[in-house]
Amino acid sequence: MVRNPLTDDERHRGLVLGRLLQEARGARSAAAVALEAGISLDTLRKIERGAIVTPAFFTVASLARVLGLDLSTLAEAVAENATEDEKQMASRVA
């Protein structure tokens, strides 16, 4: 099975998700959050920097639980921030 390449929008949403998770983590160490979420530290770091732009649902759900985030609120924040970033980029080009 061949996977379709990710679109620019999908990559951008992945970056936004990573940034939001990193902000929610705050001063907590990435190692502690990864351990509690049951994922590897490497995976968390890749998600936070946008190298994994479409992490598995259960990975995001576990991180949200550990960070005290509601999944619906997180999804809305990703959509809102991605849209806002797109508007800002468009205004720079115009």
Confidence (pLDDT) at 60: 97
Confidence (pLDDT) at 21: 97
Confidence (pLDDT) at 52: 94
By the 8 A CB rule, do 53 and 14 touch? Answer: yes
pLDDT in tens, the chain (94 residues): 788 898 888 899 999 999 999 999 999 999 999 999 999 999 999 999 999 999 999 999 999 999 999 999 999 999 888 776 655 655 565 5
Confidence (pLDDT) at 4: 87
Whole-number Cα distances in Å, 59 to 1, 4, 38, 54, 79? 23, 22, 8, 10, 18
